[in-house]
Amino acid sequence: MSTTYSMLGGEGPDSYREHSKYQGALVIAAKEKINEVISAKLDIDSSLNLINVADFGCSSGPNTFNAVQIVIDAVEQKHKEKEFQVFFNDSSNNDFNTLFKTLPQGRSYFATGVPGSFFGRVLPRSSLHLGVSSYSLHFISKIPNGIKDRNSPVWNNEIHCSGSSEAVEKLYFDQYKTDVGSFLNARSQELVSGGMLLLLGSCRINGNKFFESVEGMMIDYIGTSLNELAKQGLIDQEKLDAFKLPIYAAQEDDLKQIIEANGCFTIEAFEKITHGKGEYPLDTNYLTLAFKASLGGSIAAQFGQDAMEKTYELVSEKTEEMLPQLAKAKPGIQYLIVLRRN
């Protein structure tokens, strides 16, 4: 993904590390199903001494540590007395310093950082036995052509794909299809035959628009807050016109069809997981900090740290005001998808 995009790093009060418990809860909730599928479907050479595991889109912890440990524990129930090498992958400007400073004490694996876009190969061919990616496949590698150009017929005056314009949504969806296909092709080359890829995240219920969800509404509040700063002359309007988040929330059936059309994997499980924290809690501070931790880094990269802080002060006010609307938001689907390389 773009090297200008990353979560807020470090261990401070606004960091992604401190405000990613919602994402982490899905991994914990999916643990039993992960154990079940790995036990029944993992088909790798039992004589191997070393098993390689990778997390694609690892960020700075602690969720990645929980995810890889759950995978390792499941494998150890089936294959005893193995050594494990874990590859932590994310974009090159990810906060790998915090990631490695906070590695679990007494861990049972060797750790390696692998910077680079997961839309392409990041590991040697046929070197990986299990891969996991959690809350990462809603990113796209680039903004579709024309979306950032104010003179284009498909210029999008919002900072994301809300689904309010069919033409804009089609361009985002086409880019998403390309990128998920590239992600799957890269993983199919890295995985050994019979290796497995576990995908966790959220998608839309078929027919729902992104602007109807809590995530879509919160990003709308970020966009309107940035527009207010531009009107006040605190950020450049042209910069704002060109600023678009590389995010697309797919519908459930679309995601299934993309995987099936790719042909590199067999879907061993496509499970709707009951999220440990349900939908996002309707708490102004929680929502503001959660979306600051995940999206604030890209805003700071485009407009500066001070503008980012001012943006989220406004977002907090808007979130408090719009809590009744957020309470009526349409829920999404939290999923676990388990793929076996053909």
Query: What average pLDDT is seen over the chain?
Result: 89
Q: Is-contact 237 152, C-beta < 8 A?
A: no
pLDDT at 2 (0 to 100): 43
**C-alpha torsion angle, residues 326, 204, 240, 286 (rounded to 10):** 40
pLDDT at 86 (0 to 100): 98
Structure tokens at 274: 């009951």
Position 7 in a domain? no
Position 11 in a domain? no
Q: What is the pLDDT of residues 147-184, one digit of tens each?
A: 988 888 888 889 999 877 889 999 999 999 999 999 99
Specify the number of domains making up the chain.
Answer: 1
Structure tokens at 253: 């059936």
Structure tokens at 278: 């349900």
Can you say whether the dihedral through the CA atoms of 333, 66, 8, 19 is positive or negative?
positive
Burial class of residue 238 (count of CB atoms within 10 Å of its CB; 0-12, 13-18, 19+): exposed
Task: Return the percentage of the chain with pLDDT > 70, whole number.
Answer: 92
> How many other C-beta atoms are found inside a 10 Å radius of the C-beta of residue 233?
8
Domain around 319: 21-341
Position 70 in a domain? yes
Position 293 in a domain? yes
Whether the pLDDT of residue 1 is over 50: the answer is: no
Residues 6+ apart with CB under 8 A from 319: 218, 221, 284, 287, 288, 326
pLDDT at 4 (0 to 100): 46
The pLDDT confidence band at residue 95, using thresholds 50, 70 and 90, is: confident
Position 16 in a domain? no
Position 12 in a domain? no
Whether the pLDDT of residue 12 is over 70: the answer is: no
The average pLDDT across 78-105 equals: 91
> How many other C-beta atoms are found inside a 10 Å radius of the C-beta of residue 66?
17
Can you say whether the dihedral through the CA atoms of 281, 284, 286, 291 is positive or negative?
positive
Position 286 in a domain? yes
Q: What is the pLDDT of residues 107-146, one digit of tens each?
A: 999 999 999 999 999 999 999 999 999 989 999 999 998 8
Q: What is the pLDDT of residues 17-26, one digit of tens each?
A: 555 676 777 8
Structure tokens at 320: 């408090």
What is 272-301 written as a DSSP string?
Answer: E---TT-SPP--HHHHHHHHHHHHHHHHHH
Position 305 in a domain? yes
Whether residue 115 is preceded by a cis peptide bond, meaning omega within 30 degrees of 0, is: no
- Strand boundaries in 77-233, DSSP class E: 83-90, 110-115, 128-134, 191-203
Q: Is-contact 21 61, C-beta < 8 A?
A: no
The three-class DSSP label of residue 235 is coil
Domain containing 149 — which CATH number?
A: 3.40.50.150
Q: What is the pLDDT of residues 247-260, one digit of tens each?
A: 999 999 999 999 99
